[in-house]
Amino acid sequence: QQQVKQSPQSLIVQKGGISIINCAYENTAFDYFPWYQQFPGKGPALLIAIRPDVSEKKEGRFTISFNKSAKQFSLHIMDSQPGDSATYFCAASKAGANNLFFGTGTRLTVIP
């Protein structure tokens, strides 16, 4: 059973463009939704996270949009740069539980 579904699998964006990655979940007990960035050969690094009591969170060029009724959340990368080229994972977890459920990842390539 796939707890968190992520799309697209890969994404190519021009430098300066907007990158959008989408995730959907089924379990309404999830109450914490982080995004991780992973470069080849490295571990996932926490990028930004949101709780369901807000619909949007912005940190610099990165924004999470959250739609509780649709059980969807997305990552927007504004003014995408070649240095943003990485794999992005969405994840979710429940209060009181310890494990993160990860999406399948999106490989982002930003073309100069």
Give the residues lining the site for another protein (CB under 8 A).
32, 34, 36, 41-46, 49, 89, 91, 93, 97-105
Q: Is the CB of 1 or the CB of 69 nearer to another protein?
A: 1
Least distance (Å) between residue 13 CB and another protein? 21
Least distance (Å) between residue 9 CB and another protein? 10
Q: How many CB atoms lie within 10 A of CB 17?
A: 14
Least distance (Å) between residue 43 CB and another protein? 4
105 Cβ contact partners less than 8 Å away, ≥ 6 residues apart:
6, 9, 38, 87, 88, 89
| Burial profile 55-85: b = 16 or more Cβ within 10 angstroms, e = fewer | eebeeeebbbbbeeeebebbbbbeebeeebb
Q: Is the CB of 2 or the CB of 14 nearer to another protein?
A: 2
Q: Is the CB of 77 or the CB of 90 nearer to another protein?
A: 90
